[in-house]
Amino acid sequence: MTATVLNAEQLQEILASSFPGSETPLVDEVNGDTVVLRQPVGARHGRPGGTISGPTMMMLADTAAWMAILAQIGPVLLAVTTSLHIDFLRKPDMTDLMARATLLKLGRKLAMVDVTIYSLGSDAVVAKAQVTYSIPSSRP
Amino acid sequence: MTATVLNAEQLQEILASSFPGSETPLVDEVNGDTVVLRQPVGARHGRPGGTISGPTMMMLADTAAWMAILAQIGPVLLAVTTSLHIDFLRKPDMTDLMARATLLKLGRKLAMVDVTIYSLGSDAVVAKAQVTYSIPSSRP
Amino acid sequence: MTATVLNAEQLQEILASSFPGSETPLVDEVNGDTVVLRQPVGARHGRPGGTISGPTMMMLADTAAWMAILAQIGPVLLAVTTSLHIDFLRKPDMTDLMARATLLKLGRKLAMVDVTIYSLGSDAVVAKAQVTYSIPSSRP
Amino acid sequence: MTATVLNAEQLQEILASSFPGSETPLVDEVNGDTVVLRQPVGARHGRPGGTISGPTMMMLADTAAWMAILAQIGPVLLAVTTSLHIDFLRKPDMTDLMARATLLKLGRKLAMVDVTIYSLGSDAVVAKAQVTYSIPSSRP
């Protein structure tokens, strides 16, 4: 395990306090430039045909990218997404979703994260995203 | 007004039946290859700093693209997003969001839609998206 | 015509001096936040099937975005592309390509441009791009 | 080494015959779903500041994606790019560029490839792309 500024428990607390009242993803693993989240999946994430909605995956990719950045720079809550690109490759079953986010660049102004989404217990890539965040000038 | 296969009322019914129990966007205008949606914005769409969350805008872009396609091809409920790219340009106030979706290509297999998001009563672009859907082989 | 910092002739000179020895696009129109370029198309841009190569269109989108930014901020030659997303919609004939680039955001750090590519004499969109540039802190 | 339909020599021949007269990338490695290309870099790829042009990297990403697909399906020369998204992370030196392309999905209609670009002899990611190709219905 490579050291990070925030660990899994601290990232989980940030999620809980940033999205009060909603069922946030679970921070499953934090290791250097990579964070793994697990999104519990329920009926409200479903779509006709027994699959998970696209917005559920987009939100998970966005959140996982944010976590990968905060793990390195600390609780910069006002970092904002500037762009998100996602390709949907396979229709996932109604199984919990996993998102592996790897920080590819951490600059002074921009951070860029690569995110792979798959179903728990499977290796097949369900969706693939590239997410860019803008980091405020004054960090904590 | 250019004729479409489905009108605003029919598109609104599809939204209501596809997302039961949630506050769907309102179909504001349907005209040829363009559909305009209005997303009522409430506290649950908010983020610290008094702005609207990125996922709210991603979901709106995705839904607006779907509506622009269905307006032309009818109720193909199983059309699925294959890719979505969005750039976030300005932090919107907590005002209702508008999405103008224009169908740029309707092929046999793929449809591609350009989406501009802005705040009600403003011209400034808040977010800009390009969305691709895959259309099932057998249409109704 | 809305005033810009650089006019068509000045933008054309920047292209000529930045890409010496190559056949640069022609700056066809400059009007406020929008710049139109024309890419002369020859055999070297071709692909089997009598169409134009994807990289020709990507390069044109990138250059058109750069021109739309410089028209507003002056000759900031070291502005660099940070991301480019392009959807290819139709296979163009071997006709000159047109690119209409509209500056959607000009921030202190980032500029974002929407680019529509079509064939000379046609309205059908051939390719659609969203391009982001990073602007160096010290402008001229 | 996992078996592919085409090996490195066969892919190299396809590149040479598809782009006659130009300095094509070298097929460095082919292994299952992954292909590695090496782009020799010369003065014509340069930009002010001693770095490599964006279009050089976009073209390399596009070509590497094509090679990863052909390695699996054989010489389908008419496969065409339908979308390309690229984030530019670092300005590379004027060193040969490497592109590692991994096929993430091979469907009947669409193939999606993840591409990482780095400089020869370095691990730092220079650019990251997601590329989608449309595959013609009738394969050889």
pLDDT digits (tens, 9 = 90+) for C59-113: 999 999 999 999 999 998 789 999 999 999 999 999 999 999 999 999 988 999 9
Say if the Cβ atoms of A134 and C109 lie within 8 Å. Answer: yes
**Dihedral sign computed on CA atoms, order D106, D34, B132, C59:** negative
Provide the β-strand partners of residue A85: A130, B85
**pLDDT at residue C140, rounded to an integer:** 45
Say if the Cβ atoms of A134 and C83 lie within 8 Å. Answer: no
Task: Please name the amino acid found at residue A10.
Answer: Q
Task: Please name the amino acid found at residue D113.
Answer: V
Say if the Cβ atoms of C82 and D88 lie within 8 Å. Answer: yes
Long-range pairs for C117-121 at CB < 8 Å and ≥24 separation? C117/C57, C117/C60, C117/C61, C119/C92, C119/C93, C119/C95, C120/C38, C120/C95, C120/C96, C121/C95
Q: Is D59 helix (H, G, I), strand (E, B) or coil?
A: helix
| Residue of chain C nearest A130, judged by CA positions | C83
**pLDDT at residue A67, rounded to an integer:** 97
Say if the Cβ atoms of D49 and C78 lie within 8 Å. Answer: yes
User: Could you give the CA distance from residue D62 to residue C65 in angstroms, rounded to a whole number?
Assistant: 20
A140 has a pLDDT exceeding 60: no
| Residue of chain C nearest B89, judged by CA positions | C105
Mean pLDDT of A48-63: 92
Chains that touch A (3 or more CB pairs under 8 A): B, C, D
User: Could you give the CA distance from residue B102 to residue B68 in angstroms, rounded to a whole number?
Assistant: 6
Say if the Cβ atoms of A109 and C134 lie within 8 Å. Answer: yes
pLDDT in tens, A74-115: 998 789 999 999 999 999 999 999 999 999 999 988 999 999
DSSP symbols for B2-47: ---SS-HHHHHHHHHHHSTTS-PPEEEEEETTEEEEEE---GGGEE
| Residue of chain B nearest C107, judged by CA positions | B89
**pLDDT at residue D140, rounded to an integer:** 45
Considering chain D, what is the average pLDDT of its residues? 92
Task: Please name the amino acid found at residue B69.
Answer: I
Considering chain A, what is the average pLDDT of its residues? 92
pLDDT in tens, B85-138: 999 999 999 999 999 999 999 998 899 999 999 999 999 999 999 999 999 875
Tokens 């699996």 appear where? Answer: D72
Interfacial residues of C (vs B; Cβ cutoff 8 Å): 85, 87, 89-90, 104-105, 112, 114, 125, 128, 130, 132
Say if the Cβ atoms of C82 and A132 lie within 8 Å. Answer: yes
Could you give the percent of chain C with pLDDT greater than 90?
78
Tokens 């690229």 appear where? Answer: D86
Closest-CA distance, D30 to chain C, in angstroms, reads: 23
**pLDDT at residue C138, rounded to an integer:** 59
| Residue of chain C nearest D133, judged by CA positions | C88
Higher pLDDT, B5 or A137: B5
Q: Residue D60: which pLDDT band, with cuts at 50, 70 and 90? A: very high
User: Could you give the CA distance from residue A92 to residue C9 in angstroms, rounded to a whole number?
Assistant: 54
Token output for B29? 């205008």
Tokens 């590149």 appear where? Answer: D15
Residues of chain C in contact with residue D49, where contact means CB-CB under 8 angstroms, are: 78
Residues of chain D in contact with residue A87, where contact means CB-CB under 8 angstroms, are: 104, 112, 130, 132
**pLDDT at residue C39, rounded to an integer:** 97
How many CA atoms lie less than 13 Å away from B137 in the CB half-sphere?
3
C35 has a pLDDT exceeding 50: yes
D112 has a pLDDT exceeding 60: yes
User: Could you give the CA distance from residue D17 to residue D34 in angstroms, rounded to a whole number?
Assistant: 22
pLDDT in tens, B24-80: 999 999 999 999 999 999 888 888 778 899 999 999 999 999 999 999 999 987 899
User: Could you give the CA distance from residue C47 to residue D18 in angstroms, rounded to a whole number?
Assistant: 8
Residue ranges with strand state E in chain C: 26-31, 34-39, 46-47, 51-52, 80-88, 97-106, 110-119, 125-134
Q: Residue C1: which pLDDT band, with cuts at 50, 70 and 90? A: low
Interfacial residues of A (vs D; Cβ cutoff 8 Å): 85, 87, 89-90, 104-105, 112, 114, 125, 128, 130, 132
Q: Which of B80, B81, B82 to mutate to test the interface with D (most CBs of D within 10 A)?
A: B82
Say if the Cβ atoms of D81 and C87 lie within 8 Å. Answer: no
Enter the ipTM.
0.94
pLDDT in tens, A3-33: 899 999 999 999 999 887 778 999 999 999 9
Provide the β-strand partners of residue D111: D106, D133
Alpha helix ranges (H) inside chain C: 8-18, 54-73
Backbone φ, ψ for residue A84 (5° rounding): -140, 130
- The 10 Å Cβ neighbour count of residue A64 is 28
Do strands D125-134 and D80-88 pair parallel, antiparallel, or not at all (unpaired)?
A: antiparallel
- Taking the CA atoms of residue D9, residue D12, residue D13 and residue D18 in that order, the dihedral angle to the nearest 10 degrees is 160
**pLDDT at residue B62, rounded to an integer:** 97
Q: Which of A15, A53, A80, A84 to mutate to test the interface with B (most CBs of B within 10 A)?
A: A84
User: Could you give the CA distance from residue B44 to residue B23 in angstroms, rounded to a whole number?
Assistant: 11
Q: Which of A87, A105, A109 to mutate to test the interface with C (most CBs of C within 10 A)?
A: A109
- Taking the CA atoms of residue D9, residue D11, residue D13 and residue D16 in that order, the dihedral angle to the nearest 10 degrees is -130
C16 has a pLDDT exceeding 70: yes
Tokens 């930045």 appear where? Answer: C18
Residues of chain C in contact with residue A85, where contact means CB-CB under 8 angstroms, are: 85
